Amino acid sequence: GADMAGARWTLEAGGPGDAQESGGGPGDADGSGGAHPEPDLVIEVAGRRVRAHKAVLCPRSEFFRARRSRQVVRVRGISLTAMRALLDHAYGARLRAPTVRDAPDGDVDALLAAALLAAAHALQMPGAVRAAERALREQLRARACGQLLDVAKRQRAPELADLCLGFMSEHYLDVLRDPAVYGRLTAAERELILRRREEAGARCLLLAELGDGHERSGASSRDSSRAHSPCSPERAPDEVVEEGEEGDGGARWVHRRDARTGEWRRLSRVPEAVSGARGCGVCALHGYLFVAGGTR
Residue 184 pLDDT more than 70?
A: yes
DSSP 3-state of 289? strand
DSSP 3-state of 64? helix
For residues 12-41, average pLDDT: 63
Q: Lowest-pLDDT range, 88-92, 146-150, 206-210, 248-252? A: 248-252
Residue 7 pLDDT more than 60?
A: yes
pLDDT tens per residue across span 246-290:
555 567 888 888 888 889 999 888 887 777 777 778 888 888 878
Residue 101 pLDDT more than 90?
A: no
Q: Lowest-pLDDT range, 63-67, 139-143, 167-171, 205-209? A: 139-143
What is the C-alpha R_g of the chain?
A: 28
Q: How many CA atoms lie within 13 A of 19 on its CB side?
A: 2
Strands 205-208 and 239-240: unpaired
Residues 6+ positions from 269 with CB-CB distance below 8 Å: 248, 251, 252, 253, 254
pTM: 0.57
DSSP 169: H
Q: Please state, in angstroms and rounded to a whole number, the distance separating the CA atoms of residues 293 and 194.
A: 26
DSSP 34: -
DSSP 3-state of 88? helix
DSSP 3-state of 189? helix
Residues 6+ positions from 60 with CB-CB distance below 8 Å: 90, 125, 127, 128
The b-or-e profile of 14-43 (16+ CB within 10 A means b, else e) is eeeeeeeeebbbebeeeeeeeebeebebeb
What sign results for the dihedral spanned by CA atoms 255, 256, 261, 262?
Answer: positive
DSSP 3-state of 52? strand
Residue 38 pLDDT more than 80?
A: yes
Q: Please state, in angstroms and rounded to a whole number, the distance separating the CA atoms of residues 63 and 129.
A: 13
DSSP 73: E
For residues 31-46, average pLDDT: 77
Task: Give me the pLDDT at residue 107, please.
Answer: 54
Per this entry, what is the length of the chain? 296
The partner residues of 51 in beta bridges, in order of sequence, read: 10, 42
DSSP 3-state of 240? strand
Nearest alpha carbon to residue 129 among 119, 138, 139, 144: 119
Task: Identify the residue with better confidence: 205 or 34.
Answer: 205
Residue 124 pLDDT more than 80?
A: yes
Q: Please state, in angstroms and rounded to a whole number, the distance separating the CA atoms of residues 63 and 286.
A: 43
Q: Please state, in angstroms and rounded to a whole number, the distance separating the CA atoms of residues 284 and 290.
A: 6
Nearest alpha carbon to residue 125 among 77, 65, 78, 81: 65
Cα distances (Å, whole numbers) of residue 182 to 117, 148, 166: 24, 13, 14
